[in-house]
Structure 1
Amino acid sequence: MKTSSDLHCWIVVNGYLQHDKFSSLALFIKESAERKKIKATLIRNSDLIPVIENGIPMLKGTFGKLPDFVLFMDKDIHLARHLELLGLPVYNSSSAIDICDSKAKTHQALAGHNIPMPKTVFPPFTYEGIERVNMDVFNQIGSELGFPLVVKESYGSFGEQVYLIQTEEELLKAIRLLGHKPFIIQEFIRHSKGRDIRINVVGDQVIAAMQRHSESDFRANMTAGGRAQPYTPTKEEAILAIRCAEILGAAFAGVDLLFGEDGPLLCEVNSNSHLLNIYECTGINIADSMFDHMLNNIGKGSATDEKTSRLADI
């Protein structure tokens, strides 16, 4: 059995994101791994080529040998799933990343589990280049939810691609602009306007939390101008956040909650939450807890010969 100092971890990041905040986050996580005596390698998804040859999954590239486990800080679902096919432990799993990446999939996955959330409508799908001619269904949705309401693109981060819609005319205009992009429509939680809670969960524990608020925007996200302060979740909020991560199969997650009039409501679950913001707010390094959880979960096991045999350099 290997000790942590014998283990090698890949931290997979997107090769096309060049923004400083993503580079800083990757280095921040790598430093946490090294504090745990884990050999950590930052590797771009663009350096890895998933291949199925003669029905067998293989990985090609110029990366040396396969690691013992992978911390997947990207949303390249096909790559994450391919690494799992090679027998590698991947955190979070490809299925958890896939579900959390889509607001529509997240809410449907949590449905039927007594998770409180805003009333959510899933509008009819259309194909790329095919306009919605009959808009009657959106008039019905507007009547069902009332105005204002919130339109959220299924795929989006940092509070972007989220729109507060005040009138039926605005709703129809937004729908036409979105075209074939997947989105959901939700009731607007007035009681939580400009404020929410981010709770970081690792395993079955709350590690840190912050309350975010904005004086100028209905969204509380810090990239939308919001500010944050350390927050101690209530027992109800903590249980809700842990339960959401558990249902979605996320080993760790940033769970966003809204302030409902009768208690907390699930807003969204982030499988790859931005750890620097909550570190700057609370002084708590979530990455340290993430590596502790991964080490405990894999039992400090070794990589198999099968994994190595599937490696092919080009």
Structure 2
Amino acid sequence: MIGWIIYNGHLPSKKFINFANWIKDAGLNKGIQMETVKNNHVWVELGTNISGVINDKHLSTPNFVIFHDKDIALARQLEQSNIPVINSAAAIEICDNKITTYQQLTKDSIPIPKTFVAPKIFEKTEKVELDSFLIIENYLSYPFIIKEAYGSFGEQVYLIETRQQYVDKINELKGVPFVIQQFVATSYGKDIRINVIGGKVVASMLRKGNGDFRANVNAGGSTEPYSPSPKEKALAIAAAASVGADFAGVDLLFGENGNPIVCEVNSNAHIQGIYESTGINVADYMIDYCIEKVKGMKDL
């Protein structure tokens, strides 16, 4: 059996190659021939009566691909070439855009913070009609959250405490899709990361911010092992299923009365941090799932 792990070849952070190597080692330990592949070494080829992919490494066609990137066109083309892609192009596309994620979760009655999708503003708009944005003050009190639709590691999430901050951020984000969201004060600086693989919870940790409203480790937070309640487990599994993710890092907030709320669903969740916190190697579960999925498809 041959597996590829595709990651983005132009991202400078070592996190992405480390993730790919982590998965590769887990596959090799199971006797699978694993290849780490940069997305820029696999090209989509299209033309009259031509549809497929080419690679410059002369790699053998894989039995499955673990797709740890957001190159959705490439993921979709691999699927059209009848190669199992995990996560699917559709799941990656939903999770990549927070607006699409929240729309999908709402469609499936998954609890999320109250969320408003900001109207589209073109980047070259000279003057924003700011009064139209003040309607939000009738539905949310300060502070509230603004999240850019595209972003990772909590870096595009902003706590808005005053009208002036709100107006300034709207002007700053001109041309950027974003949502305005209820601030869940009961979860200030803490959340739960739950890793779901194939509809099962395999690992979980509590994340705490270091004086920051965000709990992301990249923002200076810390982690510790966490045993989720049956309700938290069920919600994480339901959220992953809602977006169609085989693998997901589901982030839950502590709502009022201890009721969990979905903050985000990550289709490309990193796994080294949860290993360092819990000692659980999520990569092993990912490889086991891929093996069973490929075998199941052969039996059809």
Please say whether Structure 1 and Structure 2 have the same fold, judged by a TM-score greater than 0.5: yes
Where does residue 53 of structure 2 map in the other structure? 59
Give CA-to-partner distance per residue, 1:237-281, whole Å, 9 cap, x none: 000000011111100100000000130000000001010000000
Where does residue 251 of structure 2 map in the other structure? 256
Where does residue 273 of structure 1 map in the other structure? 269
- Normalising by structure 1, we get a TM-score of 0.92
Q: Answer yes or no: is 1:285 the counterpart of 2:268.
A: no
Give CA-to-partner distance per residue, 1:192-222, whole Å, 9 cap, x none: 0000000000012100000001131000000
- Normalising by structure 2, we get a TM-score of 0.96
Q: Does structure 1 retain, via aligned residues, the 8 Å contact 2:63–2:294? A: no
| 1:267 to 1:131, Cα distance in 2 relative to 1, 3 A | farther
**Mapping 1:128-139, distance limit 5 Å:** 128-139=123-134
Distance 2:72 2:126 in 1: 29
Distance 2:156 2:122 in 1: 20
Report deviation, 1:18.
Answer: 2.5
Distance 2:140 2:23 in 1: 41
- After superposing the two structures, state which structure 1 stretch, 292-301 or 234-243, moved more: 292-301
What is the alpha-carbon root mean square deviation over aligned residues? 1.3
- After superposing the two structures, state which structure 1 stretch, 138-147 or 238-247, moved more: 138-147
Q: Answer yes or no: is 1:76 the counterpart of 2:100.
A: no
Q: Does structure 2 retain, via aligned residues, the 8 Å contact 1:149–1:188? A: yes
What number of residue pairs does the alignment pair up? 296
List structure 1 segments (4+ residues) > 3 angstroms apart after TM superposition: none
SS at match of 1:111: helix
**Mapping 1:1-314, distance limit 5 Å:** 7-64=1-58, 65-262=60-257, 263-299=259-295
| 1:120 to 1:43, Cα distance in 2 relative to 1, 3 A | same
Which stretches in structure 1 are left out of the alignment for 5+ residues?
1-6, 303-314
Distance 2:142 2:124 in 1: 29
Report deviation, 1:23.
Answer: 2.1
Where does residue 4 of structure 1 map in the other structure? none
Report deviation, 1:131.
Answer: 4.1
Report deviation, 1:80.
Answer: 0.5
- After superposing the two structures, state which structure 1 stretch, 248-257 or 293-302, moved more: 293-302
Q: Does structure 2 retain, via aligned residues, the 8 Å contact 1:202–1:252? A: yes
Give CA-to-partner distance per residue, 1:127-158, whole Å, 9 cap, x none: 23124521122111133111000000011111
SS at match of 1:217: coil
| 1:132 to 1:260, Cα distance in 2 relative to 1, 3 A | farther
Q: Does structure 2 retain, via aligned residues, the 8 Å contact 1:50–1:60? A: yes
Distance 1:193 1:288 in 2: 33
Distance 1:195 1:80 in 2: 33
SS at match of 2:283: helix
